[in-house]
Amino acid sequence: MTSLKVFDPFRASWSEVDIELPSSFSGKGLVATHPFVDLHVHVRLGGVEGYDTLERAAIKGGFGTLVIQPNTKPDMENERVYEMHKNASRGSAVEFLWTASLFGSLRPKKDIIAYSTDGIEYDIERLDGALREKAPFLLMDHSQIYEMGGHFYKGTSAPLATRSKCAESGAIYRTVLLGLARGWKKFHIQHLSTMEGVMAVADLKKVASVTAEVTPHHLLLTKSDLTGPNRKFNPPIGDEEDRKALVEAVRNGTIDALASDHAPHPPKPQDLEKASFGSACLEVAFSGYYTALGDLELVLTKMTAFPLRIIERSARVSMENLVVIDPDAEFVVDTKGFAGGGKNCALEGMRLKGKVLGLRLGGRWLYWDGEFLR
């Protein structure tokens, strides 16, 4: 038996527990907590990342629950597509939950926990029509004023830098205020990327139930780091002022959850204009957050208790379900060792602090010290 320090993110308390690890280990310096929860993940059925490889990426990254976004080709907008995903994920040790496209016929149910606009372009007419048509529920929003055109904010080092930064903050106000007028109560703003977006969320929290998330790459990188296609995102990385505002927003509670926006792709073309958007970072998400924020309790809480609170799920710390991390470990990100299908990680080559050592789900160790145990 090994004595481990266990952090309970639901009570913000520490304890010490004796537990049998898969291999001989001193346990010195190791920390265990509830498995991580990610509110923003993409799957590519028939492409680079099915549920089998996504499960392995999740396990290696310490995740027990993933929420799949609706732009799945075809979009998650009807019962047929939902059943296709449900069948493809059957038998997984990781819990998969889904979001329904705000613009389809699919409605929330036990494992469809929100409507989402992520990855789906819309204008105000389409948004208002969907808000009028559907019964209010939790709405996850990729907040962009697509009518402005372009894919990058002005000032970023990219050939498509045509959209103003206010496309994010303006869209946040538009979605929440229009939603309130149509009777909607709960809003979750996805992958905040600008100082102005942070200000909008902080302002709207005064009048509505608004939560927000941020990715590891938006906390670690700025537009000067846009050195290749794996750092092309939507929304794009901003300047140092934006990055600092996002870090402070996590610390002061304006940003409630840490979510990866895991977006796996085949190798991207070097032509930045032709490259797909997104980064596959599920396997190193914890390390990215801990490197950016340096506060272990904060990171663990915002990867577990807070995202579960947003989707109204209850949980508790159990010895049957644990992620074990080594906060002192350091490593250089090397995507050749990734277990998932996507190797397009924005953090490739970066030295990160803190590492997932093992994951236990349902009373079984699934991963330990670099080895899958199932």
350 closest CA partner among 303, 267, 281: 281
Identify the active-site residue in 141, 261, 334, 369.
Answer: 261
Q: Provide CB contacts within 8 A for 172, sequence distance 6+.
A: 141, 143, 189, 197, 200, 201, 204
Buried b (16+ CB within 10 A) or exposed e, 119-143: bbebeeeebbebbeebeebbbbbbb
243 closest CA partner among 232, 229, 255: 255
At position 43, the amino acid (one-letter code) is V
202: how many CB neighbours lie within 10 A of its CB?
16
Q: Give ∠ CA 252-253-256 in degrees, rounded to 5.
A: 145
Taking CA atoms, 26 is separated from 2, 22, 29, 322, in Å, by 7, 12, 9, 17
Which segments of 90-186 does DSSP mark as H helices, in order?
Answer: 124-133, 166-181
Is 328 a known active-site residue? no
159 prior amide bond cis, ω within 30: no
107-115 contacts, C-beta under 8 A, 24 or more apart: 107/134, 107/135, 108/137, 108/138, 111/86, 112/82, 113/67, 113/138, 113/311, 113/312, 113/313, 114/67, 114/138, 114/139, 114/140, 114/188, 114/311, 115/139, 115/140
- Kindly state the helix (H) or strand (E) to which residue 199 belongs, with its residue range: helix 195-204
DSSP 258-307: E---B---SPPPS-TTTSPP-B--GGGHHHHHHHHH--HHHHHHHTTHHH
Asked if residue 337 lies in contact with residue 372, where contact means CB atoms within 8 angstroms, the answer is no
* Catalytic residue IDs: 261
